[in-house]
Chains A and B, each alone.
Chain A
């Protein structure tokens, strides 16, 4: 399991129950990648991490946390 945790699922619901598909489209990735991210099975590149944070309008650290 990755040490990088994320709040994507919570943030989606906080943003009007945004669907995985909508987030994927706005971040420029596939829905499968969003699913993998939410399940902690994939660690995104810095670029994708910033794109996701930008979709939610929050800082990167609010979406991703390193639990080292």
Chain B
């Protein structure tokens, strides 16, 4: 397995772990209402998503500097943002449609959702980058 491909799998695994942790903590600690009032809750959530971001940067960037990344790897990596772009658009579309349907009657959407939307788009973006690289290698290997 190429170094970039190995890191993409790690990035996906770590990203999924942080995403599950984020969703579990958010739901179990009370959701949006508690998020507004409980500072400890906000700190825990911030630590999780910033921790995930740092872990992703370390896996996909810093450790990769020491590894051999050749022209084929670069070609695959350069194509991955297409999937990242699609993931971001679909995540935003899901949020817009979901929030619109839930809060249409009151026309008042809690401001916390802006924060949660940002974090979810960020998470979707880094998961999609790893996934894009994995798909890129899969397509390159079956290109016969």
Contact = CB atoms under 8 A, between A and B. Distances in A.
B143 interface: yes
Interface stretch (B49-57, B68-76, B112-120): B68-76
Most A C-beta atoms less than 10 A away, residue of B71, B72, B141 = B72
B2 A45 contact: no
A28 B140 contact: no
Contacts of A18: none
B144 A44 contact: no
Interface in B1-60: 1-3, 5
Interface residues of B, number: 14
B68 A36 contact: no
A29 B144 contact: no
A33 B72 contact: yes
Interface residues of A, number: 15
A41 B68 contact: no
B13 to A, nearest CB: 20
Contacts of A40: 144
A36 B72 contact: yes
B143 A41 contact: yes
A55 B19 CA distance: 46
Contacts of A41: 140-141, 143-144
A48 interface: yes
Contacts of A33: 2, 70-73
Top 4 A-B residue pairs of the complex, sorted by shortest distance between their CB atoms = A29-B70, A32-B2, A33-B72, A41-B143
Interface of B: 1-3, 5, 68-73, 140-141, 143-144
